[in-house]
Structure 1
Amino acid sequence: MSTSPKSPGAGGTTHPPAPAPAIERQPDRLEAPGTDAIDVPAHMPEEAGFPMPDWDALLKWVASIPAEADQAHAWMRLELAWVQRLQAALGAGYTMRLADNVVLLSSLDDAAARATLAHVSRSRQRVLHTLKGVAEVAEWGVDILVVLDDHDTYYRYAGNHYPDEGEFAFSSGMYLNAGCGHFIVVKDELLAIEPTIVHEITHACLSHLPIPAWLNEGLAVNIEQRFYPQANGGHDARHQHRRHQQFWGAPEIQQFWSGDSFARTDEGNALSYDLGRILTTQFAADWPRFAGFVNAADLVDGGAKAAQDHLGLSLGRIVCALLELDYNEAFEPHAHGWQSTDRASRSQAH
């Protein structure tokens, strides 16, 4: 994976990559050595105006291909076939570009699109370096960024991936990890969306791990603020601490450990991200031990066992200490009482 030139707002001189060659249009019927051809449209039906592939069926087809190199090639062709269908669904203003293993689908003009591709590639390298031993890129396929023109389109598209979510907490970016992982953001000036892209790239580089949402988001927020210090919101630390003390009780902290609090539409949403950031910052001070914790953490128990095994810490005790509360066992993760059963939705928010 090569390092791309710097993009606007990332420091240094801008040298966008040369225009990429045209992306070959994928046929409706894909063939691969050693297996039957697959009917692509039949496996990518539209829902609410967007193609929603049956990724499980498509992955089974890929697995039926004997040679691993042919599997990887077939998977990338399926990804491109899907993005081409999404392009058609979004309308004539959207174009596809491919550079340095990154696909961009957007209505950005050529200069902005090339700068965005450079930013994604460079940011991916920085995330991998900063989270060494934890972050990875997928062995197959390409990174896919979809820049949607407005929040209405953004939420309509996201709603297909979270049909039971109801009202969404406000956001301008998501990493969607069902089937073919990709990230979506709302169109804005590149300087404005760069931090969001970095946040979502971090999720993409952690998607191989079954970590709880608080850890996933804590890492993503820390990376975003490390690369873009202006993105920290400028909250007064004392005032923010009082907000945490007033908000978190035993029921709310169980939502935090389970990941459900990240879907709240009240102040609990922002406080969840901030508490995840605080915990991750503290734990990451000893990076080798923290990396072992991240690689072992599992969302099924909120990371409790991994914290004991790798950090020698009780999550409940740490939170009580942060909130300046006497220890209360009810602040420990109690997975048996969590209602959510969807591992993907609990592994990350947005």
Structure 2
Amino acid sequence: MSRDLRSHDLPGRGSRRACKAVTMHTEPHLVWKAPAGDRFPRPDWSATDAALPAGLPDGDLHRVYGALARQWVDGLRDALGGGYRVHGGGDWLLLSHECDRYVELLLQTLRRDRRRIARALDGLADDDGYGPHVLLLIEDLDDYYAYVAHFYPRHGGAYAQSAGMFVDDGYGHLIVPHRALEDVEAVTAHELTHAMLRDLRLPLWLDEGIASNMEQAITGRSLYPPEPELIGRLIEYWRREGLEPFWSGASFARPDQGSELSYALASHVVAFLGGDYPRFREFARAADPADAGNAAAREVYGEDLGALMRRFLGDGDWTPRPATHSR
């Protein structure tokens, strides 16, 4: 589910399970932000959380966040207008402009993929939380970028091309621009993987590499086949640029080929490491964004990430520099 109420979300309030259980007798209401010039309703989830009574039992929390999510998605529907509808209930809320058959097939796929991700990433993927998963399927590309601009970094005034996002802000949700159903299903497989990994707080290269490999496993499409042309581009680009933007995560949002080649390299490295899944799971659970997972690699694999990367890029100083990294 998509509203995660661990201690980092509710500073100072402690565990709800440790409090005396109470019952909520009135319907909850969202607290809204009012950013200047923003056409989309943006909930203030911290203020909304603070307005709820402490100690609500799990069943009430699930119901409360289901109602809050519906208020939020209804507000987005009204802001977008033009035939958008809210579908689903229970485990998913889907805002879309699509016909009922399209929505039915997509919801079936989302439910199936969630089960597949949980099985494939046993010990890593986590579906805990309250309220339904939320997917915003946006018809107009300008509307899509207007929405994600609130969360998406610019580089020199330009955005990297985006096929979809998992927005881990307040109430985690998926947002995807309209395209053919098969293509939307590929994007949601990738972004749902991010959603189910979010509590690990992985280095970005590792998070993206896992999501890319999961997308390939679910769709059967090879995103970055190890062909000589791609391998040559990877070696040439990273030898010229150095790997620090990759380790820090900055290169994934570049509006040039650096973004594609970041995803490609991450996908190949994770595919290699994932061949021994028990060790990979141990590594992923220990990987710290502060050093791009370098200490965890030494502990689990007996060599640092620089040595690992020489298998892909040849000789060079590829070791992460911790001072440059954040997530």
Alignment partner of 1:146 out of 117, 131, 136: 136
Equivalent residue of 1:97, what SS? strand
Distance in 2 between residues matched to 1:282 and 1:116, nearest whole Å: 31
- Deviations along 1:247-291, one digit per CA (max 9) or x if unpaired, are 114853111111101011111111100110111011111111111
* Unaligned stretches of 5+ residues in structure 2: 2-21
2:166 corresponds to 1:179: no
Q: Does 1:125 align with 2:115?
A: yes
Match of 1:91 in 2: 81
Deviation at 1:244, TM superposition (A): 1.2
TM-score by length of 1: 0.80
Select 1:56's aligned residue among 28, 32, 46: 46
- CA distance in 2 between counterparts of 1:290 and 1:283 reads 6
8 Å contact kept, 2:161–2:255: yes
User: Does the alignment pair 1:337 with 2:327?
Assistant: no
Query: What is residue 235 of structure 2 aligned with on the other side?
Result: 245
Q: Structure 1 stretches of 5 or more lacking a match? A: 2-31, 344-350
Q: Which residue of 1 aligns with 2:219?
A: 228
The range that moved more, 253-262 or 90-99, is 90-99
Per-residue deviation at 1:309?
A: 1.9
1:184/1:231 CA distance change after superposition, 3 Å: farther
**Pair 1:257 & 2:247 matched:** yes
The partner residue of 1:71 within 61, 76, 79 is 61
Pair 1:189 & 2:180 matched:
yes
Aligned pair partner of 1:214 in 189, 202, 205: 205
Secondary structure of the residue aligned to 2:137 is strand
1:285 pairs, out of 250, 259, 275, with 275
Q: Is the 8 A contact 2:32 2:41 kept in 1?
A: no
Aligned pairs for 1:268-283 within 5 A: 268-283=258-273
Question: C-alpha separation between the residues in 1 aligned to 2:226 and 2:201?
Answer: 33
Amino acid corresponding to residue 86 of structure 2 in structure 1? M
Give the percent of matched residue pairs that are identical in Structure 1 and Structure 2: 32
Per-residue CA deviation, residues 195-225 of structure 1 (Å, 9 max, x unaligned), is 1111111111111111011011101111111
Seen in structure 2, the aligned counterparts of structure 1 residues 157 and 191 have a Cα distance that, compared at 3 Å, is: same
The TM-score with structure 2 as length reference comes to 0.86
Does the aligned pair in 2 maintain the 1:293–1:307 contact within 8 Å? yes
Contact 1:65 1:71 in 2 (8 A): no
1:118 and 1:37 mapped to 2: Cα distance? Answer: 30
Q: Report if aligned partners of 1:95, 1:106 keep a CA contact under 8 Å in 2.
A: yes
Out of 283, 302, 306, the residue aligned to residue 292 of structure 2 is 302
* Contact persistence 1:34–1:65 (CA under 8 A): no
Paired AA for residue 288 in structure 2: D
Counterpart amino acid of residue 132 in structure 2: V
Distance 2:288 2:104 in 1: 38
Give how far 1:37 is off: 7.6
Deviation at 1:146, TM superposition (A): 0.6
Q: Deviations over 1:125-179 (max 9, x none)?
A: 1111111111111331111111000221111110022366642211221110111
Shift in alpha-carbon separation, 1:110–1:37, aligned structure 2, 3 A: closer
Q: Contact 2:28–2:64 (CA<8 Å) still a contact in 1? A: no
Answer with 280-289 or 52-61: which moved more: 52-61
Secondary structure, aligned partner of 2:135: strand
Q: CA deviation at 1:100?
A: 5.1
How many residues are treated as equivalent by the alignment? Answer: 305
Which residue matches 1:5? none
Q: Separation in 2 of the partners of 1:209 and 1:88?
A: 35
Matched, 1:108 2:80: no
Which residue pairs with 2:4 in the alignment?
A: none
Q: Deviations over 1:11-63 (max 9, x none)?
A: xxxxxxxxxxxxxxxxxxxxx936998653x4243652101111121222346
Query: What is residue 127 of structure 2 aligned with on the other side?
Result: 137
Q: Structure 1 residues 63, 318: CA separation in 2 closer, same or farther (over 3 Å shift)?
A: farther
Question: Which stretch of the first structure deviates more once superposed, 45-54 or 190-199?
Answer: 45-54
**Amino acid of the structure 2 residue aligned with 1:205:** M
CA distance in 1: counterparts of 2:275 and 2:44, whole angstroms? 42
Which residue in the other structure is 2:32 paired with?
Answer: 43
Distance 2:197 2:48 in 1: 23
- One-letter identity of the residue aligned with 1:146: L
Q: Alpha-carbon deviations, 1:305-328, whole Å to 9, x = none? A: 2212223231011112321114x2
